[in-house]
Every structure is written in C-alpha cells, then in structure tokens.
Amino acid sequence: MSNPTAAVLLIGDELLSGRTRDINLQQVAQYLEPLGIPVMECRTVPDIEAEIVAAVNALRAKYTYVFTTGGIGPTHDDITADAIAAAFGVGISEHPDAIRDMAARYAAMKTEFTAPRRRMARLPHGASLVANPVSGAPGFQTGNVFTLAGVPQIARAMLEDIGHRLQTGAVLHKVTVKGKGLREGDLAVKLGEIDAAAPLVSVGSYPWYLAPDNNGVSLVARSIDPEALARVRQQLVELAESLGVKPEIEA
C-alpha cells in the first residue's frame, strides 16, 4: 500500500491580501511528518464559496486527506462550513453535541450564547466533531476532509483530536548538512549527480544569506530508507569538505 498523502487548503481573504501571515501550513506539515503523511500540495483561496468548493473537491479526490483552515468563526464571511456541505452535496444545520458543549462553555463563562456564536455549531450533515480545547467551537471531519480554525493556536490544538483518525505511513527520515560559506553555484553539478544516483532519497539545496560573513547552504536529504539516507549523508559531507567547508550535521 502506498503512503497516505495530504493537502492543505488555506481559506481567507486576509491571507491573499497579505494582512495575515500563514503558519498553519507549517503546523499541519510538521504534525503529519512523523506520522508518515507528507503534505504534497497547498492552495490558498478567498472567502468565495464556489472557489472553496472547487478546491475542496479537487484536493479530496487527489489526496488521502485534506486539511482546511479558516472560515469557521461567527461572522458573515465565515462560510467554510457551508462550502464544505456544498462540496459534499449535503445539508447543514446545528449539531446537537456542538450546541450542548458550546452552551455549557458559554454558561460557565457567564457569556451570552448569541445567534452569531451558534453559527459555529453548524456542521455539514454526517460530519463528526473535532475537539477545540482552546475556545470550544469545534472543527469537523467530513469524509477525508478535516476543517480547522484559522487561528494558529486553535488549529494546532485541533490536530490533537485528528491524529488517531489517520492512516499512518512509513516515517520520512531527514538529515541536514549545513555548510557556512558554501555556494550553490559551486556544488550544483555534483549535487545533481548525488540526487540522480539515489532514487530513494530526495535531496534539496537551501541557501541562506544573513550577512556578508554569515551565509551558506543547507543540503537536506529525506528518505523512508535509513540506509540509503546514510549513504547520501556521507556524500553530502564529502561534497562540502571537497569545497573547503567543514559542515555541521543536523538530524
């Protein structure tokens, strides 16, 4: 059986305008990596139902799992729940368990459970709740699509109620050979040869430049095969050393 795969769909006008910087892609990918579920694609769409529906349907047909973030709050532009219902061709209404839990939470806070707040208890029919230990309003799972809040702290907390639902795959191991003073132009040919000779390993080159005396390249190798990864790790070390650089190695 092939490894499960995932996609992330970021929803919100504020992301596309540049007003809000996304970190949810990073959070989801980092959570899934040790489960052996690589994120293969990420899309960002505005708060337009037709755009959300089209993206959800395309991604859920292509990948094992889809994670959406954003658009499940109490305001008029929070339309993700309706879009997910439309994508699956089902109705939407208040979920009794969500209403019960949220009503109890707001009562404990001595806060009115208003109509806008009740909107956050509306789920596509057939969806199951994803717990939200931070603010109470749930995310939800519809088929292979998990719908999370856009607030990073809440999205990360929701992932803890999702991990046990996922089919895991072979764990991807990685190693970083970091060389201060390395230049991509000097190592590109040899690096390409190393990558081509190791089909079970993915090799990437990531330069950094912080100052004239603080720059270099991080060579990152990833594989589900520890032995193949070890061979490439040694080749990357030797490549750096051949260019007069003593590398740092990070697992």
Q: In angstroms, how far apart are the furthest CA atoms of the chain?
A: 68
The domain total for the chain is 2
**Domain shared by 153 and 30, yes or no:** yes
pLDDT of res. 32: 96
Domain edge (last residue) among 136, 165, 194: 165
Contact between 174 and 221 under an 8 Å Cβ cutoff? The reply is: yes
pLDDT of res. 81: 98
The number of beta carbons lying within 10 Å of the beta carbon of residue 73 is: 19
pLDDT of res. 227: 95
pLDDT of res. 31: 97
**Which DSSP state fits 104?**
H
**Domain shared by 195 and 86, yes or no:** no
pLDDT of res. 175: 97
pLDDT of res. 172: 87
Q: Does residue 91 form part of some domain?
A: yes
Identify which of 179, 152, 123 has the alpha carbon closest to the alpha carbon of residue 23: 152
- β-pair type (214-223, 173-180): antiparallel
Q: How far is CA 74 from CA 46, 113, 137, 168, in A?
A: 17, 11, 10, 34
pLDDT of res. 171: 87
- The model carries a pTM of 0.89
**Domain shared by 51 and 146, yes or no:** yes
CATH number at 220 reads: 3.30.70.260
pLDDT of res. 3: 87
pLDDT in tens, 9-21: 999 999 999 999 9
**Domain shared by 187 and 237, yes or no:** yes
Residue-range definition of the domain harbouring residue 131: 6-165
Q: Does residue 130 form part of some domain?
A: yes
Q: Which residues of the chain have pLDDT under 70?
A: 1
Q: Does residue 1 form part of some domain?
A: no
Q: Does residue 19 form part of some domain?
A: yes
